[in-house]
Structure 1
Amino acid sequence: MVQLVSGLILLVAGAELLVRAAVRLAARLHVRPLIIGLTIVALGSSAPQMAVSLQATLAENTDIAVGSVIGSSIFNILVTLGLSALIIPLRVSRQLVRLDIPLMIGASLLVFVLAYNEELTPVDGLILLAALLLYLGLLLRQSRHSARPQAGVDHTGQGLPAASSNPPWVSSLLSMLLGLGLLAFAGHLLLQAAVEVASDLGLSERIIGLTVIAVGTSLPALATSLIAALRGQRDIAVGNVIGSNLFNLLGVLGFTALVAPMPLSVSPNALDFDLPVMLGVAVLCLPVFYSGYRVTRAEGLLFLGLYLAYGLHVVSFTTGMPLAGKLENLMLFFVLPALVAFLLFSSLRAWRRQHKKGEAQ
C-alpha cells in the first residue's frame, strides 16, 4: 500500500513538473507545444515501456514484451484520451489529422504486417527504427515551418515575465528531465505492485502484458495528459498520446526486436484479436478527430466504454467465461456497425461543413 501511494504521489508531481517545463521550453524555442508533446514529452512517457520490454525480452518473456506495447497503445488512446476529454474537450491540431494520425495508423499496420508470421526479427526491428527516424525527420521539418509565438506571450495566452527573471531554456530542459525521472520511478513502483498482484492471481504472461503492465507503463503518459488537460495545454495532452504510441510501436518494438537474443514471438491470440483491435483503435481516431477537430466529452465516454468492453473480453476469454462469446457477438453485430455508421455520418457532416466554409471564403 505504501509503495502504491508513493508511486501515485510521485506520478502526479512528475507530470505537473513535466508539463510546466514543456510549456516554458516550447515558448523559449519558439515551437508549438504540440511538437514538444509529440517528441520530448512522448519519448519520456515511453521510457518505462522501453525498460519493461527490454527486461522482459532478456528474461525470454516475449509475450510480455510484445503484449505490453499492444496493450499500451490501446490504453493510451481509449483511456488516456477518454479521461482527458472528460476533463475538458480536446482541440485537435490539423497537423495531427493530416500527418500524425495517418502515420500512427501506418505504424500500427506495419507492426501487424511484420508480425503476421508470428515473430519479429532483427530485420523487422531495423525497419521499425527506420520508420521512426523518418517520422522524426518529418517532425523536424514541421517544427521549422510552425508559427512562432509573439514575443512576451506564452502558449497559454499569458504574458511571460521579463527575460532577466526567466530561467534560460537549459533550466526548462533540466526541469523536464527531472519530471521524466519522477514519472519513470513512479511508474516502476506502481508496476512492481501491480505485477505482484497479477502474479498472485495466476494470470498468464499475455494477459499480464496486455493489461497490468500495459496500464502500468502507460501511467506516466496518462498522468501527463491529464495534468496538461487540467492546465489547458490541450496540444500537449493529445500530442503526448499520439507521439507515445508512435515511439512505442516503432522505437520500443523496433529496438527490442533488434537487440533480442532471438526473434520476438507473437502469440496467435494477439494476431487474431489484440493487433486488429490496436489497428482499429488507431483508425478510429481519424474520423473522431476530423469531425470538428476536437474530442468531445461524449467521444471521451465512447472511448472509455470501448476499453471497458475490450478489457472484459480479454479477461473473460482468458478465464473461459461464457461472457466472452456474448461480448464478441455484441461488438461484432451491434456495436461496431452502429459505431461505423455514426463515424461515417459525422465525417461526412464535417466534410460538408468545411466544404461550404471554403466556398464562402
Structure 2
Amino acid sequence: MYAEIGAVVAGLILLVWSADKFVIGAAATARHMGMSPLLVGLTIVSIGTSAPEMFVSAMAALDGAGNLAIGNALGSNITNIALVLGITALVAPIPLQKGLLKKELPLLVIVSLLGGVVLFDLTLDMTDAIILIVAFLFALYLMFQDSSDSGDAIMDEDEAAEIESTPTGMAVFWLITGLVLLMVASKALVWGATGIATAMGVSELIIGLTIVAIGTSLPELAASVTSALKGHHDIAIGNVIGSNIFNLLAVMPIPGLLAVTAVEPMALYRDYAVMMAVTIALLVFFLISYRKGTMGRITGTLLTGSYVAYLGFLFIANQ
C-alpha cells in the first residue's frame, strides 16, 4: 500500500495548499472585477474553506465512490465540532459570539435535520441534491442579511490584506493554477483512499469518515489552535458553524448531482446520528456557557473525548 499511502499524504498536502491559493486567487479576481469585500468574504472565502471537501466529493462520485464523499461530509462535520473545537477549547477558553445563538446555531441544527431527511431513504439522487442546493442558496441569503445588518467582518485582517494586495495577473494565475492542482490532488487522494480501503477490507465510507475527513479538516484545526495561542480565536465557533453548513448543503449534494448514490445504512444510523449528537451537544454547551461568555476546558475535554471514543467505536466495529 506504499503507493496508496503516498498518494493520500501528497494529495492532502497539495489539497490544502492549492485550496488556499485558489481562494486567494478567486477572491482577488472578484475584488478586481468590482465585487464588494462583504460579498467576497461571504461567498468565495467562506465557501472556499469547504473547497477541499467539495473537490474530493466530486472526484469520489466520478470514480464511483459516492459513499467516500458522503463520509467526507459527515466526518468533516463531526471532526470540526468534536476535534477542532475540542482541542481549541483545551488550548484556551473560546470566547462565545452570543449573536450566533439567534441565527447561525439554529440554522445549523435545521440544516443537519435536513441532511437526515435526504439520507433517510438511503439514496442520494438529483432531487435530494437540488433540495440541498436550494437550502444552501437560502442559507447564503440569510447570512448575507445578517452580515449586512451587523457590519461584522467576514474574514480576518491578514487574509483581507493579502486579497487586496494581489495584482490582477497574479490573482488569475493562482485562480487557474489552484483549480488545476485541486483537481489533481483530489484525484490522487481518492485513488489512494479507495486503494487503502480495498487493501484493508474496510468500506470507502469509513475511509471518508476518518482519513479524508481528518485530513481536510486539518487547516481549520491548525488555524484555530494558532489563533488560540495568539488570543484571536473568538471566531472559531462561527467558522466551524459556517463550514458545517457548507459541508451539508454544498458538499453532500455533489454525489447526487453526478450519479444516483446508494447510501450505506451505517452512514445514516451511525455516522449521521453521531453528527447530529455532537451538533446538539454544541448547542447545549453554548447555552450552558452563555452567561460565562467562554467555552472552557471541561467542554473541550468532553468534545475531544467523544471524538476519540467515536474513532475507537469505528475501529472496533470494523474488526
TM-score range, shorter chain: 0.7 to 0.9
2:122 aligned residue: 118
Counterpart contact for 1:81–1:300, Cα < 8 Å: yes
Alignment check: 8 A CA contact 1:30 1:148 kept: no
Instruction: Specify the code of the residue in structure 1 equivalent to 2:143.
Output: L
User: 1:289, CA displacement in angstroms?
Assistant: 1.6
Q: Is the 8 A contact 1:92 1:238 kept in 2?
A: yes
Number of the residue aligned with 2:214 = 215
- Could you tell me which runs of 5 or more consecutive residues in structure 2 were left unpaired when the two chains were aligned: none
SS in 1 for 2:103: helix
User: What does residue 144 of structure 2 align with?
Assistant: 140
> Structure 1 CA distance, aligned partners of 2:184 and 2:301?
27
Structure 2 counterparts to residues 250-329 of structure 1, below 5 A: 250-257=249-256, 259-262=257-260, 264-290=261-287, 291-292=289-290, 293-319=293-319
Distance apart, 1:203 and its partner CA = 2.2
Count of aligned pairs: 296
- Determine the structure 2 residue equivalent to 1:91: 95
Structure 1 portions without partners, runs of 5+: 157-165, 320-361
Q: How many angstroms apart in 2 are the aligned matches of 1:185 and 1:87? A: 34
Is 1:171 aligned to residue 175 of structure 2? Answer: no
Contact 1:225–1:237 at 8 Å: present in 2 too? yes
User: 1: CA distance between counterparts of 2:61 and 2:86?
Assistant: 31
User: Which structure has the higher relative contact order (CA within 8 Å, separation 6+)?
Assistant: 2
Instruction: Give the Cα–Cα distance (whole angstroms) in 1 for the partners of residues 226 and 15 of structure 2.
Output: 13
Query: Please, what TM-score do these two structures have when normalized by structure 2?
Result: 0.76
CA distance in 2, matches of 1:172, 1:104: 36
TM-score (norm 1): 0.68
Cα distance between partner residues in 1 of 2:253 and 2:268: 18
Residue 304 of structure 1 deviates from its aligned partner by 0.7
Shift in Å at residue 217 of structure 1?
2.1
TM-superposed CA distance for 1:168, in Å, is 7.7
Spell out, residue by residue over 1:133-177, the C-alpha distance to the aligned partner (whole angstroms, 9 max, x if none). Answer: 11111111111111468xxxx978xxxxxxxxx7783639988x9
Q: Structure 1 282/236 Cα, relative in aligned 2: closer, same or farther at 3 Å?
A: same
> 2:18 & 2:87 partners in 1: Cα distance?
19
Counterparts in 2 of 1:99-118, with a 5 A limit?
99-118=103-122
Deviates more, 1:209-218 or 1:308-317: 209-218
* Mapped contact 1:91–1:294 kept (Cα < 8 A): yes
AA aligned to 1:207 is I
Q: 1:50 aligns with which of 29, 51, 54?
A: 54
| Aligned equivalents of 2:6, 2:61: Cα separation in 1 | 29
Query: Aligned partners of 1:155, 1:199: CA distance in 2, in Å?
Result: 42
> Is the Cα–Cα contact under 8 Å of residues 191 and 216 in structure 1 kept in the other structure?
no
Cα RMSD over matched residues?
A: 4.0
Q: Secondary structure at the residue paired with 1:117?
A: coil
